[in-house]
Structure 1
Amino acid sequence: MTGYDEAELPSMIDKAIGVLDLARKVRLLTGAAMFALPAEPAIGLSEVRLSDGPTGLRGAELAGGRKSCLLPNATLLAQHWDVGVAEQVGELLADEAAAHEVHVVLGPTINLHRSPLGGRLFEAFSEDPLLSGALATGYVRGLQARGIATSPKHFLANESETERFTVDCAIDERTVREVYLLPFEMVVADARPWSVMASYNQVNGTPASEHRELIENVLKGEWGYDGLVMSDWFATTSTAASANGGLDLVMPGPDGPWGEKLVAAVEAGDVAEETIDEHLRRLLRFAARVGCFPGEPASKTTSASPDSPQTRERLRHLAAGGMTVLVNRDNTLPLATSGGRVAVIGRHAFDTVAQGGGSAQIRPPHVVSIADGLTGALGTERVSAVDGVEVRTRPLAAEPGAVRDPHTGESGMRVTAWDAAGAVLESRHVDGTEIEAVEDGWLGSAASIELSAELVLDEPARTRIGVRGPGRWELTAPGLREELELHRAPGPGGGLHRPPARGFDVEQSSGARISAVTRADSGMRIIGLVAAPAPPTDDEAIQAATAAARESEVAVVVVGYTQEQETEGVDKTTLALPGRQDELVLAVVAVAERTVVVVNAATPALMPWIDEVDAVLWAGLPGQEAGDAVAAALLGEVEPAGRLVTTFPAADRDGPGWNTTPTDGVLTYAEGGAVGYRGWRGRDPLFWFGHGLGYGTWRYETVEPVAEHGIATNARVQVTNTGDRTSREIVQVYARPADPDEPIRLVGWAGAIVEPGRTATVAVPCDQRTQRRWDPDTRAWSPLPNTELLIARGLGDVRLTLPLSEEN
């Protein structure tokens, strides 16, 4: 990036502002495009490019864009409980951003797991504000140390998706301060992110993008934040209120509620020009930090490759190391690397879900399925892999290798656009099987669009043929002619983030031509082709699974959610696994010698079979190296030493903060600060926050706390590895107040890798920001009195307790 003298930057910015008239100032405060900010040659400002991507760089295109490395999802990365890992992730993403020539990564997501129903929780770290804030700090440091900006989001209270564009989140002031602001407070204080993104929702009756109390008074005033505050995409609906409320940048552009309307508001005296200058001052400071002001930035291009051996190995370890062993009866895991046959069972074993749905989806170079990963690790002679029951209601787009362009023979499809008179506007080869049809894209002016491809099959087979994307369609293939209409999911982005799809099962041969024609359709949408082997019926799948399990020493059943449950734009209604997956597990258990369940999901699921199986590995959404990472974890090549970052209920509606559906537009956070494990009452959950067995066993022996005026500053804990493997332990420290109305809270943790039979002294720093309480009357903090420390392997396995007092 271009260099500048930090001391001279304020005068440079003031000089630039003085060059511009009001209209040109205001123009710079709205994006120039969907993912770019405008340049202004008169002041030496070049274009700033942004990209979605908490766990990978998507680039400007929502479908069919450049391939990028796909990291494990945020909860799986968080299960390392390691700020250093978060920093490594930031460094890796910075290299990806440089390769994409992107200046800003729109992440991390540091909203909390308030309810396990939240559809977008896979993007966020945890239910705990301290853990989330610490991991976000490492993530931001890793990116910004390499000159790439971050934008922690969504400020504030975007913990669910139902009515997210309009919902009013009603939260008491103390809870806002102690719980929902804390991760942002931490990242601002400890990492100084160069931008922050405001959310869509309202907070206590005021839209977040114009919330003066949160943005101006707390973020910029009390915390002294000197960065840029941008809107979420299309979130800003007001002109003067948002400009006066502290928002600095409206996204996307070039249209929006500012522009000429904001110029008029200034001229009418509704917004002071000094306010515009302050927004622009922050924008130019932001641009300077990413190398776009002054002058054209130096090239940041790197040699990063999303499928290089080095990248693949890093991603495999990141995924496997964060996986969590929930159950391990009779040391079933790790599996022996030699011995009898292993049956790998389930739709998720073949169609392994590597990422969640929505705006953060990227196009990876590949996804290694769990079936392929275990077969590669153990050999075809030991592994039999069989499909499972149906898990989706909407079929996926075809894998590129399943179809070819009928004109060129290349992998992918042909996309042809016609005008209203029937003349061809353009015909292109696309190396994927989905594409954006948006107003400002090359398909925007088309009256009709054809997607065409030829099937690539080894032999004639029953094949599922269909289309994805909203609109009216004419679908043809040998033996198939259908006219159908697919409707958008409700809400903005419904045609992009959750495209509808439909497929038809017909007998096909290799070379069969598929054609799908859709008419002009207003609004943004993703469209694509469906072409895949027709799946077995559920009864056939269960029968094949039990047959394979009978003939094997170990049955590995892979179950999970899909992007239909874990996605932007919609919340779950139940934690039950989709389809007949529970029935499949129980059928296998009934005949198998040993059963291991691998759960391919990011957020809690019900497990009615938990007492019947021998082991459970929580695999998360493992990214592009999914199958190889699961194999490494199951075989013990990489210890799955992760700890849960969310409390797992045993049944629907268990626990605090369950509801995500507003009443008359208002979602009340009635549980207050008792979020997740903090508010668990009555019967125990299925698994507590912090739970994870790893492959070690441990003895906790002594603890030496250090406290000032009854507030813990650190604790030194002795742990002995009593197992027969080198293992990583995560020592967790919680403060439990004597006042029963005050919730327990995590105050610190630290990890240690210890050899068998060895003892380690683990120093655990304790953060004072979770050992305080906010008084709404005095609007001030005070220390949390009369607590005791719990030293634990998770809240379900507390090993030591120690009272704290004013004298400690």
Structure 2
Amino acid sequence: MTDRLATLVDALTLEEQVSLLSGADFWSLPAIARLDIGKLRVTDGPNGARGSGSLIGGVTAAAFPVGIAIGATWDPDLAQEIGAAIAQEVKSKGAHVSLAPTVNIQRSVTNGRNFECYSEDPELTAALAVGYINGLQSQGVAATVKHFAGNESEIQRTTISSDVDERTLREVYLRPFEAAVKDAGTWAVMSSYNRLNGTYTAENRWLLTDVLRRDWGFDGVVMSDWFGSRSTAPTINAGLDLEMPGPTRDRGAALVAAVEAGEVTRDTVRTRALAILRLMDRTGALDDTTPFAERADDRPEHRALIRRAGAAGMVMLRNDGILPLADPARIAVIGPNAKVARIMGGGSAQLNPHYSITPWDALAARMGDNALNFAQGCDNHRWQPLIGQPVTVDYFANETLDGAPVHTEVQDGTTAFLMEHVGGGHCDPRHFSLRATTQFTPDSDGTWRFGLHVAGLARLTVDGQPLLNAWEDWTPGRTFFEEGNDEVTADIALTAGQPVEVVMEFRTRASDNLHISGWRFGAARLLGADDIAQAVAAAAQADVALVFVGRSGEWDTEGWDLEDIALPGAQDALVAAVTAANPRTIVVLQTGGPVEMPWLDATAAVLQAWYPGQEAGNAIADVLFGDAEPGGRLAQTFPRVMADNPTGRADPAAYPGVNGHVRYDEGVFTGHRHYDRAGTQPLFPLGWGLSYTTFALSDMRVTPDASGAQVSITVTNTGDRAGSTVPLVFVGDGNAPVERPLRELKGFAKVHLAAGERREVAFNLPPRAFAWFDAGQGAWCVTGGRYTVEAGFDAGSLPLTAMVDIAAQTLPR
């Protein structure tokens, strides 16, 4: 096909070549009918395929476990299965390219997209990324590995400069991208919003050309994150092939003019257009003349895979023997996450699931409602819950709500994310206003809190009385990808069963970086001590108390970082009160990362369930009752307190950043390497996770060879039921002329064993496993001498140790 593509690109006029280098709309490139070139379409990932709809609503899709849950499986083969299944989802949405996977490193415990990433460790992240990409691309769907590079925080993410030395970049933050290119042959890469060492990544020639193409041999497409391209000649000359989304802001006529002015060569444009055609050819988009259509393809095999993968990623942090449950007669089901399906994080990764099941519904299906007693206890919402009533929305083609509406529609729920086709296509997406009207009927007497936040300007009334103002008083905050204000709230006394009319008026405002508008308002009764007392009473009368706590996609979301890692609201107090009332208390956590656990020692068991996709309740019940093994092991270290994590005690310049710069002062000492260096005992180390059986490691042998070293370890299931475990192999270097971590993870294996089974597991440690990056030489260096090889089930307990002599050598980039 190379000759065909070369002929085709040369048949294009300059203007046609340029047209392929920016989107036609939010999700597609323009077709070129003259030469029968089809339309390339993309869709958001990575835990599904949302399609071309808004972030809210749209055609339903399968919701798979989030990245940190896949990371906790330590299973590249399972990641490949998931990638292949998501490729089928991408096709059901009429798309050719998935904007996935997310392979940024979990540098801190507060990153808003921590849930979307696999791990704190570059080698684990790399292996899972390769599996996921291979699965996607085996079905003819392009992966778009993201966000390249240095996007490890959501604070000022569209403008901040991540200042990282080259050694740290090569050894930690670029490592998964390198594997995606060299080992998986990814067909696309997405540049990040941020600057890297002062230069926006979308126009960073060192990153996009020197490293990605010259050093690694990448031959695919580099696209911008949405609205992440800010210039014409600098981006295309640096190596950015595709500006997204469309319609173009920086290319089109501006790029043609830049060519004519000599700022960009015609050959550069041809090279970029050829890359687009190559991607279209690889995905079948080049000859795809199928009319665009999206469908909800709810496959039983996808449901089964999601359920199995959800359990495979769950980590049993603590168990005094109470799990698996043996069908207790009375269960108290407590907590704000019990009757809500927490299936995914927030931001561009969210989608409209085919369906979802809550823990309560899964438990009720198994045991019957009569065996369960529910008490919420407290809430954990970041924003007031949506009013789930029909909302009439009148749109105006001006910013002053003047005249007759140009479009009226009825929507479900009190939120909207507006990007294109606003007001039925009758409004300019950047200049319009609207009035949203609904009725709200409280289900109990009391004080109710209303909340409102918008990417735009808005005000809200209840029964005609002004209540919330984000119009004259609007100030920027951390909602709607940092384009919105922080929620404004006000309290009002309401009477059960007595409806009130709620009206919100909205108008657009000039965006700061991303051209989006959105609004959200809701209401909730204030909970207090009486509600915790009800939970305590339920727990005291039960054989077992199941407490479902954690966060949600409101907290774990693109566009902001957490302020701390304590459970939101009164959840810590709820857990402490319930455990005091019933020592047989099992805590089920659903978060996108570590949390502090001041109540840990009082619990009978703790299960970290993450956001496991649409089968959340079923997968949790499977693990609680022993139908499935808690197959997960932590892919990120849990500190005892937030201050212990790699960025917790740093100078503000190192996190969250000062004056538009964030310095990665810890260098290569990320994750478990940081805790080793600091001598700090974490709450749970990397790799931690209990099973329903027990395992032992023995007989480690390390043999040097011309390609590094070979390691073999015997793994034995010493328990009475089948299960899985993950032996880890670490390498320590005391010879290098630079400071290196005490140990670095260099090998792991997911091992499934029957009761009593023994197996010898082999690990290959290539020369790179012993190397460090010498920025002065621009090469990987293995310092000759003795290396320590350690093995165990987690980074905090490594019972097997051996020494191996490795010869000095210099490796290519």
TM-score of the alignment, normalized to the shorter chain, above 0.5: yes
Please say if 1:237 is aligned against 2:227.
no
Q: Equivalent residue for 1:603?
A: 593
Matches within 5 A, 1:648-659: 648-658=638-648, 659=654
Matched residue of 2:337: which SS? helix
Q: Equivalent residue for 2:651?
A: none
Would you say the 8 A contact 1:156–1:208 is kept in 2? Answer: yes
Give the deviation of 1:65 after TM superposition. 1.5
Paired AA for residue 621 in structure 2: A
- Residues 699-747 of structure 1: per-residue CA shift (max 9 Å, x gap): 222123343258334x222122122221111111111223493211111
CA spacing shift, 1:508–1:17, aligned 2, 3 Å: farther
Q: Equivalent residue for 2:166?
A: 173
- Residues 649-700 of structure 1: per-residue CA shift (max 9 Å, x gap): 1112214244531122221111111111112222211111111112121122
Matched residue of 1:518: which SS? strand
Q: Equivalent residue for 1:428?
A: 409
Choose the corresponding residue for 2:41, options 49, 72, 75.
Answer: 49
CA spacing shift, 1:663–1:470, aligned 2, 3 Å: closer
Please say if 1:414 is aligned against 2:392.
yes
Q: Equivalent residue for 2:371?
A: 382
Would you say the 8 A contact 2:595–2:638 is kept in 1? Answer: yes
Give the deviation of 1:783 after TM superposition. 2.3
Q: Equivalent residue for 1:707?
A: 704
CA distance in structure 2 between the aligned counterparts of 1:262 and 1:303, rounded to whole angstroms? 36
Matches within 5 A, 1:52-71: 52-60=44-52, 61-71=54-64
Choose the corresponding residue for 1:731, options 715, 727, 740.
Answer: 727
Q: Is there any run of 5+ residues in structure 1 with no aligned partner, and where?
A: 1-8, 405-412
CA spacing shift, 1:774–1:393, aligned 2, 3 Å: closer
Choose the corresponding residue for 1:12, options 4, 7, 11.
Answer: 4
CA distance in structure 2 between the aligned counterparts of 1:204 and 1:672, rounded to whole angstroms? 14
Please say if 1:356 is aligned against 2:345.
yes
Matched residue of 1:803: which SS? strand
Q: Equivalent residue for 1:742?
A: 740
Q: Equivalent residue for 1:576?
A: 566
Choose the corresponding residue for 1:675, options 666, 670, 673.
Answer: 670
CA distance in structure 2 between the aligned counterparts of 1:710 and 1:499, rounded to whole angstroms? 55
CA distance in structure 2 between the aligned counterparts of 1:796 and 1:636, rounded to whole angstroms? 27
CA spacing shift, 1:440–1:587, aligned 2, 3 Å: same
Q: Equivalent residue for 2:607?
A: 617
- Residues 61-100 of structure 1: per-residue CA shift (max 9 Å, x gap): 2222111111111000111111111111111111111111
CA spacing shift, 1:225–1:738, aligned 2, 3 Å: same
Matched residue of 1:703: which SS? strand
Matches within 5 A, 1:30-45: 30-45=22-37
Choose the corresponding residue for 1:660, options 655, 659, 664.
Answer: 655
CA distance in structure 2 between the aligned counterparts of 1:468 and 1:646, rounded to whole angstroms? 32
For structure 1, which segment, 573-582 or 222-231, has the greater mean C-alpha deviation from structure 2 after superposition? 573-582
Give the deviation of 1:505 after TM superposition. 5.8
Would you say the 8 A contact 1:291–1:298 is kept in 2? Answer: no
For structure 1, which segment, 386-395 or 283-292, has the greater mean C-alpha deviation from structure 2 after superposition? 386-395
CA spacing shift, 1:69–1:499, aligned 2, 3 Å: farther
Would you say the 8 A contact 1:228–1:286 is kept in 2? Answer: yes
Q: Equivalent residue for 1:5?
A: none
CA distance in structure 1 between the aligned counterparts of 2:196 and 2:687, rounded to whole angstroms? 30
TM-score w.r.t. the length of structure 2 is 0.90
Q: Equivalent residue for 1:369?
A: 358
CA spacing shift, 1:173–1:421, aligned 2, 3 Å: closer
Would you say the 8 A contact 1:470–1:485 is kept in 2? Answer: no
Please say if 1:72 is aligned against 2:65.
yes
Choose the corresponding residue for 2:389, options 382, 403, 406.
Answer: 403
CA spacing shift, 1:671–1:137, aligned 2, 3 Å: same
CA distance in structure 2 between the aligned counterparts of 1:687 and 1:267, rounded to whole angstroms? 60
Paired AA for residue 537 in structure 1: L
Give the deviation of 1:396 after TM superposition. 2.9
Please say if 1:485 is aligned against 2:476.
no
Matched residue of 2:656: which SS? coil
Q: Equivalent residue for 1:451?
A: 436
Give the deviation of 1:111 after TM superposition. 0.6
CA distance in structure 2 between the aligned counterparts of 1:233 and 1:427, rounded to whole angstroms? 29
CA distance in structure 2 between the aligned counterparts of 1:508 and 1:95, rounded to whole angstroms? 49
Would you say the 8 A contact 2:259–2:266 is kept in 1? Answer: yes
CA distance in structure 2 between the aligned counterparts of 1:451 and 1:70, rounded to whole angstroms? 29
CA spacing shift, 1:498–1:492, aligned 2, 3 Å: closer
CA spacing shift, 1:484–1:304, aligned 2, 3 Å: closer
Choose the corresponding residue for 1:441, options 407, 412, 422.
Answer: 422
Q: Taking every aligned residue pair, what percent have the same amino acid on both sides?
A: 35
Give the deviation of 1:481 after TM superposition. 6.1
- Residues 99-120 of structure 1: per-residue CA shift (max 9 Å, x gap): 1111111010001011112111
Please say if 1:787 is aligned against 2:787.
yes
Q: Equivalent residue for 1:324?
A: 315
Paired AA for residue 123 in structure 1: E
Paired AA for residue 745 in structure 2: L
CA distance in structure 2 between the aligned counterparts of 1:679 and 1:557, rounded to whole angstroms? 32
Q: Equivalent residue for 1:698?
A: 695
Would you say the 8 A contact 2:226–2:244 is kept in 1? Answer: yes
Q: Equivalent residue for 2:180?
A: 187
For structure 1, which segment, 426-435 or 268-277, has the greater mean C-alpha deviation from structure 2 after superposition? 426-435
Would you say the 8 A contact 2:191–2:225 is kept in 1? Answer: yes
Q: Equivalent residue for 1:410?
A: none
Give the deviation of 1:631 after TM superposition. 1.1
CA distance in structure 2 between the aligned counterparts of 1:102 and 1:622, rounded to whole angstroms? 24
CA spacing shift, 1:96–1:488, aligned 2, 3 Å: farther
Paired AA for residue 381 in structure 1: N
Would you say the 8 A contact 1:198–1:232 is kept in 2? Answer: yes
Matches within 5 A, 1:743-758: 743=741, 744-758=743-757
Please say if 1:469 is aligned against 2:466.
no
Give the deviation of 1:508 after TM superposition. 6.2
Would you say the 8 A contact 1:710–1:807 is kept in 2? Answer: no
Q: Equivalent residue for 1:408?
A: none
Q: Equivalent residue for 1:718?
A: 714
- Residues 464-510 of structure 1: per-residue CA shift (max 9 Å, x gap): 76655345556466697645326475479547788847575654677
Would you say the 8 A contact 2:93–2:295 is kept in 1? Answer: no
CA spacing shift, 1:690–1:424, aligned 2, 3 Å: same
Would you say the 8 A contact 1:305–1:311 is kept in 2? Answer: no
Paired AA for residue 508 in structure 2: D
For structure 1, which segment, 297-306 or 791-800, has the greater mean C-alpha deviation from structure 2 after superposition? 297-306
CA distance in structure 2 between the aligned counterparts of 1:607 and 1:37, rounded to whole angstroms? 48
Q: Is there any run of 5+ residues in structure 2 with no aligned partner, and where?
A: 649-653, 809-813
Q: Equivalent residue for 2:584?
A: 594
CA distance in structure 2 between the aligned counterparts of 1:236 and 1:109, rounded to whole angstroms? 19
- Residues 559-600 of structure 1: per-residue CA shift (max 9 Å, x gap): 212334311111122211111211111111111131111111
Matched residue of 2:131: which SS? helix
CA distance in structure 2 between the aligned counterparts of 1:251 and 1:286, rounded to whole angstroms? 15
CA distance in structure 2 between the aligned counterparts of 1:519 and 1:203, rounded to whole angstroms? 37
Q: Equivalent residue for 1:796?
A: 796
CA distance in structure 2 between the aligned counterparts of 1:527 and 1:375, rounded to whole angstroms? 35
Would you say the 8 A contact 2:539–2:582 is kept in 1? Answer: yes
CA distance in structure 2 between the aligned counterparts of 1:511 and 1:56, rounded to whole angstroms? 41
For structure 1, which segment, 352-361 or 144-153, has the greater mean C-alpha deviation from structure 2 after superposition? 352-361
Give the deviation of 1:59 after TM superposition. 2.0
Choose the corresponding residue for 1:518, options 463, 483, 505.
Answer: 505
